[in-house]
């Protein structure tokens, strides 16, 4: 048990026994059993108001912010942490009996899924509508973005001429054969990227892109985004697709080897002469059966304060969704970029197709 600013963090392991077949007609990923790691944050006081949060985010900055929220409001935060698909499965199983008031995921398509399944309710918050630009929230106000992360390129400047790089589509060229690194198709980040490709090029064009990527892979996909950068440093590939904040974490790692790896590569924002780089969000919504709705709205509002947005940016290197929030030096050094204008709601609509196309193309 670890003390954190007057809060106690307790880790509990639980088992979801059975999840029957597919989750409705949406083709949600099938799960037969899942171990859920629950991180429960409770205040030292047994009394007072509460808010129950299901979150797939796993960052220390989040723990700090939740502790600060409790300190400022007196509202106790109970946090259950797990993969977003596990949390959505759990919400479906619990139904109206759920204790969850807020769902937080690290992927817009999972929030869209939760909305489609009737697991979220409208927030009807003028403050959120005013603060968060329309592109970074649900048009019906069932969820809102909290942070942004760009799916950009990192490359070895000794083996890659920057002028060779263009967009995601460019990595399928013959000149990249055996040089491209990327994680597996099970990654939510890659599924959302694929959904954006489908939105722009259609299913046939997306399949052609996926097949070209598979043909040019330096190795079979494995590891997380940080591992792709390490593979480049080890000479196993020349260019990788990763989420931007991982580079920030590598540059600021307590591990000197990781800092050295980060210094060996450079970053590139793809598709800047066209539709812009693919951007995904971490976001939140109020659950349909929330018993502490107002406290949930207070928490989301707190996470959308300038102070909280900047703390996440400076400690976790995610881009704020609030236009007026400051960026840390590293993000400013990378420069501004054009973001893909495809609606984030589209990412959820093409979720099933993205998985099927990955399978068709042999993207493991």
pLDDT of res. 347? 81
Give the Cα separation of 173 and 129 in Å (integer): 42
pLDDT of res. 349? 87
* Helix pair angle (188-216, 351-361), 10° resolution: 30
pLDDT at 43 over 90: no
Mean pLDDT for the stretch of residues 36-59: 68
> Could you give the residue ranges of the DSSP H alpha helices within 74-119?
84-94, 108-116
> What b/e string do you get for 21-44 counting C-beta neighbours within 10 Å, with b at 16 or more?
eebeeeebbebeebebebbebbbe
pLDDT at 163 over 70: yes
Give the domain 149-278+348-361 fold: D-Maltodextrin-Binding Protein; domain 2 (3.40.190)
Question: Across the chain, what does the average pLDDT equal?
Answer: 89
pLDDT at 70 over 50: yes
pLDDT of res. 348? 82
Beta bridge partners of 240: 154, 181
Banded model confidence at residue 31, pLDDT cuts 50, 70, 90: very low
Give the Cα separation of 98 and 90 in Å (integer): 9
Beta bridge partners of 10: 40
pLDDT at 12 over 70: no
- Prediction pTM value: 0.86
- Reading phi first (left if > 0) and then psi (alpha if -120 to 50, else beta), residue 55 is in beta
Residue boundaries of the structural domains of the chain: 2-148+280-326, 149-278+348-361
Could you write out the DSSP letters of every residue in 294-319? Answer: HHHHHHHHHHTSHHHHHHHHHHH-PE
pLDDT at 203 over 70: yes
pLDDT of res. 153? 98
Give the Cα separation of 80 and 88 in Å (integer): 12
Which of 287, 277, 343, 249 has its CA nearest to residue 100? 287
Banded model confidence at residue 3, pLDDT cuts 50, 70, 90: very low
Mean pLDDT for the stretch of residues 296-316: 98
Q: DSSP state, 207? A: H
pLDDT at 38 over 60: no
Mean pLDDT for the stretch of residues 230-249: 97
Model confidence pLDDT, tens digit, residues 109-156: 999 999 999 999 999 889 999 999 999 999 999 999 999 999 999 999
Per DSSP, the three-state class of 34 is strand
Mean pLDDT for the stretch of residues 290-317: 98
3-state helix, strand, coil in the chain (%, to 5): 45, 20, 35
Q: Establish whether domains 2-148+280-326 and 149-278+348-361 are of one fold.
A: yes
pLDDT at 30 over 80: no
pLDDT of res. 346? 80
> What b/e string do you get for 288-318 counting C-beta neighbours within 10 Å, with b at 16 or more?
bbbebbebbbbbbbbbbeeebbbbbbbbbbb
Which of 316, 288, 235, 359 has its CA nearest to residue 122? 288
pLDDT at 45 over 80: no
Mean pLDDT for the stretch of residues 171-199: 96
pLDDT of res. 293? 97
pLDDT at 6 over 50: no
Element containing residue 62 per DSSP (H, E):
helix 60-73
Whether 50 contacts 75, CB under 8 Å: yes
Sequence-distant contacts of 196-203: CB under 8 A, at least 24 apart: 196/278, 196/340, 196/342, 196/346, 196/347, 197/168, 198/350, 198/353, 198/354, 198/357, 199/342, 199/346, 199/347, 199/350, 200/275, 200/342, 201/169, 203/353, 203/357
Mean pLDDT for the stretch of residues 296-325: 98
Q: Which of the pair, 330 or 32, is modelled with greater confidence?
A: 330
pLDDT at 5 over 70: no
pLDDT at 76 over 50: yes
Mean pLDDT for the stretch of residues 42-64: 81
Mean pLDDT for the stretch of residues 289-308: 98
pLDDT at 264 over 50: yes
Beta bridge partners of 286: 102, 121
Per DSSP, the three-state class of 328 is coil
Task: List Cβ neighbours of 311 (8 Å cut-off, separation of 6 or more).
Answer: 61, 64, 65
pLDDT of res. 341? 86
> Could you give the residue ranges of the DSSP H alpha helices within 146-219?
188-216
Percent of the chain with pLDDT over 70: 87
Q: DSSP state, 273? A: T
Give the domain 2-148+280-326 fold: D-Maltodextrin-Binding Protein; domain 2 (3.40.190)
């Amino acid at each position: 048990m670890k003390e954190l600013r007057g809060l106690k963090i307790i880790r509990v392991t639980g088992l979801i026994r059975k999840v029957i077949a597919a989750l409705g007609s949406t083709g949600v990923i099938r799960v037969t059993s899942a171990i859920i790691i629950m991180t429960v944050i409770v205040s030292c006081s047994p009394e007072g108001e509460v808010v129950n949060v299901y979150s797939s985010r796993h960052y220390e900055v989040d723990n700090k912010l939740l502790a600060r929220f409790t300190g400022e409001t007196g509202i106790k935060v109970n946090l259950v942490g797990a993969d977003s698909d596990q949390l959505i499965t759990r919400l479906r199983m619990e139904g109206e009996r759920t204790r969850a008031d807020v769902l937080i995921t690290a992927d817009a398509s999972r929030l869209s899924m939760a909305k489609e399944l009737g697991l979220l309710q409208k927030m009807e918050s003028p403050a959120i509508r005013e603060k968060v630009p329309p592109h970074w929230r649900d048009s019906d106000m069932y969820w809102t973005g909290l942070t942004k992360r760009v799916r950009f390129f990192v490359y070895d400047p000794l083996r890659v001429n920057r002028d060779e790089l263009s967009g995601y589509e460019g990595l399928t060229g013959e000149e990249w054969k055996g040089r491209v690194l990327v994680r597996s198709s099970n990654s939510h980040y890659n599924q959302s990227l694929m959904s954006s490709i489908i939105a722009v090029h259609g299913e046939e064009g997306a399949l052609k892109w996926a097949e070209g990527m598979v043909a040019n892979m330096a190795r079979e996909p494995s590891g997380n985004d940080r591992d792709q950068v390490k593979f480049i440093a080890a000479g196993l590939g020349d260019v990788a697709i990763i989420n931007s904040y991982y580079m920030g974490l590598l540059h600021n790692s307590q591990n000197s080897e990781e800092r050295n790896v980060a210094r060996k590569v450079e970053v590139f924002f793809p598709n800047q002469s066209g539709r812009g780089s693919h951007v995904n969000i971490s976001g939140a919504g109020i659950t349909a059966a929330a018993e502490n709705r107002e406290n949930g709205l207070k928490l989301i509002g707190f996470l959308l304060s300038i102070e909280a947005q900047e703390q996440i940016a400076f400690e976790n290197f995610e881009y704020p969704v609030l236009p007026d929030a400051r960026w840390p030096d590293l993000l400013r050094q990378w420069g501004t970029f054009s973001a893909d204008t495809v609606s984030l709601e589209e990412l959820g609509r093409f979720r099933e197709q993205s998985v099927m196309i990955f399978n068709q193309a042999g993207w493991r």
